[in-house]
Structure 1
Amino acid sequence: MLRFGVNYTPSQDWFYSWLAPDWSVTRRDMDALAALGMDHVRVLPLWPLVQPNRTLIRHTALDDVRRVVEIAGSAGLDASVDVLQGHLSGFDFVPSWLANWHRRSMFTDPDAVSAQSLLVEAFEEHLHDLPNFLGLTLGNEVNQFASSLHPHQMQATTDDVTGWLRALHGSGPRDARHFRLNAEYDAVWYADGHPFVPAHSARHGRMSVIHSWIFNGTAQGYGALSHESVHHAAYLIELSRAFALALDRPVWLQEVGAPLNHLTAEEAPDFCERTVRAAADCDALWGITWWCSHDVERRLSDFPDLEHSLGLIDADGVVKPIGRRFAAMAAELRDRARPEVRTEAVVVPVGSDDVPLSRAELSPGGGVFEAWMDRARKGARPALVTSTAASDPSALSARGIQRLVHATPTGHTYYSSVSDAEVLERTAAHAGQ
């Protein structure tokens, strides 16, 4: 069964609602999502509220998270929970013991890594017995903190990231029914020099996780309703599979949305349907979790404007046309027959360490991206494989690949890992002061 759910954005007070939860609002929200036909929600607490001091984990905050999962269960919804938030909707939520006078890298400082590991285990201990609990994601796109573009970069090497992931994954969940995952934004696939590499996403945890957003240069380079935009999520799913060692490793499309800084409200439902149909044609897909459940209220300030329009349900509780379309896709595709194995693959050139020789060539505008999209446009249902697998007949046979496509490098990319022009303009203005 293909899973369909939403990233839960509380309808009242956004994620600031964790400061003083109103359980009647939570119940109303969960009932509305269940009525749409969703089967799960992704719950995102705020890290500084749960672990305000390196050696203080607030059990009241853990109780609040547990209560949200329980309320979801009462509505008939399963729930996954993120641990390190981290980053949400253009805002960073980093505890004070990692910032300013206490600044240290969350990826390399031994005390900081130990504290995060303890927090992961505290969440596990607090939630593992709930019947609707799916598992933990370590954090939401925290690889952005290691990016050279971040205004307060936390330095880390690729080896440092590997050590950090091993420490936080530990021995994994105590219950075999649950997962423990890590989730990166797309710099892991597209940005050369980024310390998080494809193997980190595709080889740690029980599933690979994809976050697909077309404001990364795809919409700008090709158009918001272009073939490339509506197949971007499917491309990332197949790209993730290329780096997985286990052939049956599932991929979770954990975030995908319809950003109205490129689409119109009228175009959003069609974008949703075409994106979901393309992704559902990937046989490794575990589920699709839309970003997000509810629009951010307009009374809240300083959000990138698109954040006020990403919900399936508006701030007044009215289901939007995109919400009805996603619900229809869930009803139609949840029990779809498993797609056939893809027999053609575009080759991703990698080095001896399995890091792409050029991640820019994998990105929108790059040669690998263009070759895959061209073949998909022609109805070929392409996969992707690394050059390591492409040179091994047994590896190709195991994947069912009968034909290889070698891309011509373009030396070009549309990719931008900063999604909102307002953020860039504001940062530049501050830098010039």
Structure 2
Amino acid sequence: MPPAVRFGVNYTPSEGWFHHWLDFDLDSVRADLDSIAALGLDHVRVFPLWPYFQPNRTLIRPRAVEQLVALADAAAERGLDVNVDGLQGHLSSFDFLPAWTRTWHRRNLFTDPDVLDGQETLLRTLAAALADRPNFIGMTLGNEVNQFSAGPHPDPDRATPDEIDTWLGRMLAACEEGAPGRLHLHAEYDATWYQDDQPFTPGQAARHGAVTAVHSWVFNGTAQRYGRTSVPSEHHAAWLVELSKAWAGDPHRPVWLQEVGAPAPLVPPEHAAAFTEATVANALDCPDLWGITWWCSHDVARSLADFPELEYGLGLLTNDRKPKDTALVLERAARGPSSTPAGRSTALVVPADPALRSRCAPGGPVFEAFFRLVADGARPTAVLDTRAGDPEHLAARGITETVTPDQVLEGGTRS
């Protein structure tokens, strides 16, 4: 019997947002965690800001590490497991990079030898500090670090896919060295799956680390193009889960829906609960789902300036820790009976060439074909064009039928 799907939340402190590390208040953190645990969730993903923890390449602040451990221990007291993002990185439109990588000390985040040494040391240190905590899930290398590697970032740290492959291997090895046997992974935003020139590739996402992580946001053009109640919007998270499986080496590799939220105004607050309910139900219909971690726990305080408007209201809970309707939806799912979804036997053929990823993005023919199948009542998954004729691969995944985008969109014959 496969394990039950995990339900959790990305922890955004109600007081001071992630700047709370500068004025760390364990009592406030405990109150936040109480409000999260009351929803029946089982884990939090936490974000130590890189410049606050490693302000100099050879200085990792011991007090900051102690505070991270204290947060993890407070979570354990409330029955919450903890995943820690190491290189923070990028959050809610703001970049948090240490001064020793910028301006006068400008060095590439993915290729500079000194930067790599500093990153490894931080990841190893954080992992080791938590290695003996039973509630420590493992490390995520950072939050959507691929946004630093290409446009539309205004000042990208360019790297080749081979250089990114080397970077991922080194950083995950550092996490493993610090905390052997834990669930260490990396996580990118959906440009990995949709942007043709992204050096972080789908194959890397689906093969490096213990699980594949996907981050689903319908403000990527999905809600704008199709509408908030459309099949693509309500199944977008499920699409990324199934799309990721096309590149996996393990036919049953777990997939973690590590970020998903209901962004206003594309999803107005009065419709957020319905969107949440549909998104969660559709994701739970995906086999091999490790967990759903909602973005985010608490609203951003209006006293903090310069956030994009949508960021202020994404919390399951208000800034004074009161649950919203979306929280109650997630609570029902977390406390409800678990079931194992049936396998998906129909596979849409997707291009293995990373230079054709935009075909899978909103408006692309692969994207359109997948949701045509869903609208027609099918439960499709995805298979690479290079594997679509491999009987052994198809059998291992339980695929009995393959169909190309052209066949779906033109009404042709399936195979």
Q: Distance in 1 between matches of 2:338 and 2:78?
A: 24
2:159 counterpart residue number: 156
2:148 counterpart residue number: 145
Deviation (angstroms), 1:283:
0.8
Unaligned runs of 5+ in 2: 409-415
Matched AA of 1:151 = P
Deviations 1:6-63 (A, max 9, x none): 0000001100101011111101010111111110000111000111111111111111
Matched AA of 1:63 = E
1:245 counterpart residue number: 249
Matched AA of 1:402 = T
Q: Which of 317, 323, 329 is 1:319 aligned to?
A: 323
Q: Distance in 1 between matches of 2:113 and 2:29?
A: 37
1:31 counterpart residue number: 34
* TM-score normalized with structure 1 length: 0.91
Deviation (angstroms), 1:114:
1.3
Confirm or deny: 8 A CA contact 1:348 1:356 kept in the other structure: no
In the alignment, structure 1 residue 391 sits paired with structure 2 residue 389: yes
Deviation (angstroms), 1:220:
0.6
Deviations 1:236-272 (A, max 9, x none): 0001111100112100000000001201111000000
Q: Measured at CA, do residues 409 and 368 of structure 1 come closer, stay the same or move farther in structure 2, by a change above 3 Å? A: farther
Deviation (angstroms), 1:172:
5.3
Correspondences of 1:14-413 after superposition (within 5 Å): 14-170=17-173, 173=176, 178-332=182-336, 335-350=337-352, 355-408=353-406
2:411 counterpart residue number: none
The farther-off stretch of 215-224 and 171-180 is: 171-180
Matched AA of 2:319 = A
Deviations 1:324-365 (A, max 9, x none): 111112122xx4221111100000122xxxx33511110011
Q: Measured at CA, do residues 185 and 409 of structure 1 come closer, stay the same or move farther in structure 2, by a change above 3 Å? A: farther
Same amino acid, percent of matched pairs: 50
Deviations 1:200-219 (A, max 9, x none): 11110000000000000000
SS of the aligned residue for 2:354 comes to: coil
Confirm or deny: 8 A CA contact 2:46 2:85 kept in the other structure: yes
Deviations 1:287-336 (A, max 9, x none): 0000000000001000001111000000122111111111112122xx42
Q: Distance in 1 between matches of 2:181 and 2:163?
A: 29
SS of the aligned residue for 1:388 comes to: coil
Confirm or deny: 8 A CA contact 2:194 2:361 kept in the other structure: yes
Deviations 1:152-199 (A, max 9, x none): 111111111001001101175355652110000000000011111101
Unaligned runs of 5+ in 1: 411-433
Confirm or deny: 8 A CA contact 1:88 1:140 kept in the other structure: yes
Q: Distance in 2 between matches of 1:266 and 1:37?
A: 23
Deviations 1:133-161 (A, max 9, x none): 11000000011001122111111111110
Confirm or deny: 8 A CA contact 1:2 1:286 kept in the other structure: yes
Matched AA of 2:349 = V
- For the aligned residue pairs, the C-alpha RMSD in angstroms reads 1.5
Deviation (angstroms), 1:403:
0.7
Confirm or deny: 8 A CA contact 1:345 1:405 kept in the other structure: yes
Q: Measured at CA, do residues 57 and 409 of structure 1 come closer, stay the same or move farther in structure 2, by a change above 3 Å? A: farther
SS of the aligned residue for 2:387 comes to: helix
Deviation (angstroms), 1:74:
0.7
Deviation (angstroms), 1:408:
2.8
Q: Distance in 2 between matches of 1:192 and 1:5?
A: 31
Q: Distance in 2 between matches of 1:366 and 1:391?
A: 23
Matched AA of 1:149 = P
Q: Distance in 2 between matches of 1:379 and 1:103?
A: 52
Q: Distance in 1 between matches of 2:16 and 2:355?
A: 44
Between the two proteins, the alignment pairs up a number of residues equal to 405
Matched AA of 1:408 = D
Confirm or deny: 8 A CA contact 1:198 1:240 kept in the other structure: yes
Q: Distance in 2 between matches of 1:190 and 1:71?
A: 38
Q: Measured at CA, do residues 141 and 409 of structure 1 come closer, stay the same or move farther in structure 2, by a change above 3 Å? A: farther
Q: Distance in 2 between matches of 1:345 and 1:409?
A: 12
Q: Distance in 1 between matches of 2:157 and 2:137?
A: 30
Q: Distance in 2 between matches of 1:171 and 1:204?
A: 13
SS of the aligned residue for 1:231 comes to: helix
Confirm or deny: 8 A CA contact 2:121 2:174 kept in the other structure: no
SS of the aligned residue for 1:179 comes to: coil
